[in-house]
Amino acid sequence: MTWDADLVARASRIRLVLLDVDGVLTDGRIWFGPEGEMMKAFDVRDGHGIVRLRDQVDFGVISGRPGKATRRRLEELGFKHLIFAQRDKLDGYATLGHLGFADDEVAYMGDDVNDIPLLRRVGLPAAPSDAYPEVLQAARFVSRYPGGRGAVRELCDLVLSARGPVRP
């Protein structure tokens, strides 16, 4: 994949990748079981992209919804920063201020209008291909893939590529 020079320069500075969950790490659909348990599907390709990059950058989520299944998957993938039940993404981001990352060292992928303020703040604003239209306008990087179906993997590949030769 070939990306323009500005996008690669932005990606080369990334030290923290933050993601929304529903619509980014998942396709946005939620299944409820007969006992009220919530289930979501996560794409293994996105997971593999995260595994390939997680030794070089930190990962975190800022999500409007809590969820046991989500927490379990993120812990399995080695996410260090988990912020749940936070619809105001800038407020969630502010709780990470103690980490010391500059805004231009942060990538954030979101898919809906409540993600726009944070997308406008970070150095690498990203969105899946099926994000809400205003989100697509706010994003500097728009994946070719929809949420929960490879968008996160493509963002990880961009950051890896910008950091130098990519290992398998």
Compute the distance between CA of residue 62 and CA of residue 68 in angstroms, rounded to an integer.
15
Compute the distance between CA of residue 47 and CA of residue 117 in angstroms, rounded to an integer.
26
What residues does each domain of the chain span? Answer: 5-163
Q: Is the pLDDT of residue 168 over 60?
A: no
| pTM, full prediction | 0.94
Tokens representing residue 15 in the block:
């030290």
Instruction: For domain 5-163, say whether CATH 3.30.830.10 is its number.
Output: no
Tokens representing residue 110 in the block:
């979101």
**Per residue in 12-71, pLDDT tens?**
999 999 999 999 999 988 888 888 777 888 999 999 999 999 999 999 999 988 778 889
**Per residue in 122-136, pLDDT tens?**
999 999 999 999 999
